[in-house]
Structure 1
Amino acid sequence: MLSIGLTGGIASGKSLMSQRFRELGAVVIDADQLARDVVAPGTAGLASVAKEFGPGVLQEDGSLDRPVLGALVFADQRKLAALNAIVHPLVRAAAAVLKSAAEADAIVVQDIPLLIETGQGAHFHLVVVVDAPVEQRMARMVANRGMSPVEAVARMDAQATDIERKAGADVIIDNSGTPESALVALDELWNSRLAPFAANLAANRCAVSQGPAVIVAPNPAWAEQGARLCARIMLAAGQNAVAVEHIGSTSIAGLSAKDVIDLQLLVRDLSDADAVTSALAQAGFPHRSGQWWDNGHDFAGGSVAQRWEKRFHNAADPGRPVNLHVRVAGSPGAVLALEFRNWLRADSIARKDYESLKRRVATEHCADADTAGYAQAKEGYFATAVPKLLEWLRQTGQA
């Protein structure tokens, strides 16, 4: 199933998006509702809250007095943390039960106000953030929820900043305009990305990538995208993973590149690479059949000398092309990928030369049906680049 995390600042419009997700056919799990359920009268959660904060947070009928509790915790970060330590594990357990009951091909959307704050982003295939300016959200809280400006500020201060939420977002839905505009954006996301992504996951297939290589200007967002993807892959691979790294052109600031994120998962041996195949597929990175080897370069002589074994995966997500190379830690292919990245990050002349090559080769293959010819045409470059890389390693004391 496709698992989506939905979040946003208070009064940003998550409820509006959740309702549309339901209308589109998603299974929506509302963390706010679960947070109320787990502290309902007679629950262990409510007993724990009363023990932590005293009987004053209970109404005469024994139910939770939310305004009283809110006044306590949103004025004191330590008390808020204590409340979250009680409620969050209960909510996650309840959400897991609901998610496990969904169909295998479902799109499950978990509406979680504190998704970013609680570091849950890596547990989802995508994180969707609903965004609206602070001033607009404050006006909504005062007008629609009866809060004072002071109360509204306290609620916002208890959450992540807009910058932090955007850094954790794979998709941002702008809800600063009319509700209709935000719903149109969500519909487009569903049709062009989420529904195809879910279908690819169910079929255990990679997203189709067609057309020639297109070199685009450097995108500062590539680094954050790579970091989010690395975290998901590390979580999926578990104990079989040694490390996950962002490699390739998109990992090098200032370098024009194809809009494809290349990642390297390091494992201890190839049996571990095979052992994580299913988990990687479930996380959104199916194995690409027939991709078993690197073109190798002999570090001793700098020429193409051998072929190094690896495993290769692509993203099932049509909205974010990814190449995932699974290599043994310390193997020639793994070392070359990482050191080539480090060299281009450090050497502006080498970086400029490589970009010139990429642009020239892309132009030569601009009429191709795919990127295979472009990739093959670059191979000769590496035979001459490896000696330069080795010289840089020696000069910097790394070889």
Structure 2
Amino acid sequence: MKILGLTGSIGMGKSTVAAMFAAEGVPVFDADAAVHRLQGRGGRLVMAIEAAFPGTTGADGVDRPALAAAVLGDDAAMKRLEAIVHPAVAEERAAFLAAHADASLVVFDVPLLFETGGDRHVDAIVVVSAAPDVQRIRTLARPGMTPAKFDAILSRQLPDADKRARATHVIATDVPLDQTRAAVRRVIACMAARAGG
């Protein structure tokens, strides 16, 4: 099995590219979706997060805006949150690998792949990228997003140019969708060749 790390800064189109890999039959582990499950209604991290950050949870699980307000811009608080979340996500990832043990290629969709050291655990890395103005327009169109919040999120992420420099493959999303899909198919073919398939 080859493991392909998929990453990209906020607003770059990573979810679209992940869906394209899935549509080609490649199993995709979505780290953000795992976090949402773990922090949602009945999620196993809700009590631990409430204990560490009182007032950030409710009947539906973690109140994401409240939690963001509690940790963004506070490195110590962010580290406390990561110490709760990262081990649980690692367990989810291990279960995913066990469930797809017969796959020749899987994708780990991880927004903070480089920032968390996840790049050491994959065979190749795809960075999803778009022009800065496209990224900004996409991100600010999200509900509840503000320029200040966008800047705070960017400050915690490795710059796009650095990610691209460390990538095995770069997939552009500020081009027509068929071009992006063709790039995904090229990466799959390349990984199959590397695996001897």
Q: Could you state the TM-score of these two structures normalised by the residue count of structure 2? A: 0.91
Which residue, out of 183, 186, 189, partners 2:187? 189
Contact 1:74–1:158 at 8 Å: present in 2 too? no
RMSD over equivalenced CA pairs, Å:
1.8
For 1:1-399, list aligned pairs within 5 A: 1-54=1-54, 56-59=55-58, 61=59, 63-191=61-189, 193-198=190-195, 200=196
Query: Partner amino acid for 1:172?
Result: V
Residue 79 of structure 1, CA deviation: 1.5
Q: Residue by residue, what CA displacement relative to the aligned partner does 1:126-185 show, whole Å, maximum 9, x if unpaired? A: 111101233321110112444111111111112111233123311111223233322221
Percent identical: 31
Quick one: distance in 2 between partners of 1:53 and 1:132? Answer: 35
Unaligned 5+ runs, structure 2: none
Q: Residue by residue, what CA displacement relative to the aligned partner does 1:273-319 show, whole Å, maximum 9, x if unpaired? A: xxxxxxxxxxxxxxxxxxxxxxxxxxxxxxxxxxxxxxxxxxxxxxx
Partner of 1:383: none
Query: Partner amino acid for 1:12?
Result: M
Secondary structure in 2 matching 1:38: helix
Unaligned 5+ runs, structure 1: 203-399
Residue 15 of structure 1, CA deviation: 0.7
Secondary structure in 2 matching 1:98: helix
Quick one: distance in 2 between partners of 1:37 and 1:62? Answer: 11
Larger RCO, structure (CA 8 Å, separation 6 or more): 2
Q: Residue by residue, what CA displacement relative to the aligned partner does 1:107-142 show, whole Å, maximum 9, x if unpaired? A: 110100010001111211111110123332111011
Residue 28 of structure 1, CA deviation: 0.6
Residue 68 of structure 1, CA deviation: 0.9
Quick one: distance in 2 between partners of 1:115 and 1:131? Answer: 14
Q: Residue by residue, what CA displacement relative to the aligned partner does 1:29-51 show, whole Å, maximum 9, x if unpaired? A: 10001011222334441111111
Quick one: distance in 1 between partners of 2:192 and 2:88? Answer: 30
Q: Residue by residue, what CA displacement relative to the aligned partner does 1:236-286 show, whole Å, maximum 9, x if unpaired? A: xxxxxxxxxxxxxxxxxxxxxxxxxxxxxxxxxxxxxxxxxxxxxxxxxxx
Contact 2:5–2:119 at 8 Å: present in 1 too? yes
Residue 62 of structure 1, CA deviation: 5.3
Quick one: distance in 1 between partners of 2:183 and 2:177? Answer: 10
Query: Partner amino acid for 1:4?
Result: L
- Which runs of at least 4 in structure 1 moved beyond 6 Å after TM superposition? none
Quick one: distance in 2 between partners of 1:179 and 1:15? Answer: 13
Contact 1:131–1:174 at 8 Å: present in 2 too? yes
Query: Partner amino acid for 2:192?
Result: A
Instruction: From the superposition, tell whether residues 134 and 82 of structure 1 become closer, same or farther in structure 2 (CA, over 3 Å).
Output: farther
Q: Could you state the TM-score of these two structures normalised by the residue count of structure 1? A: 0.47
Contact 1:27–1:106 at 8 Å: present in 2 too? no
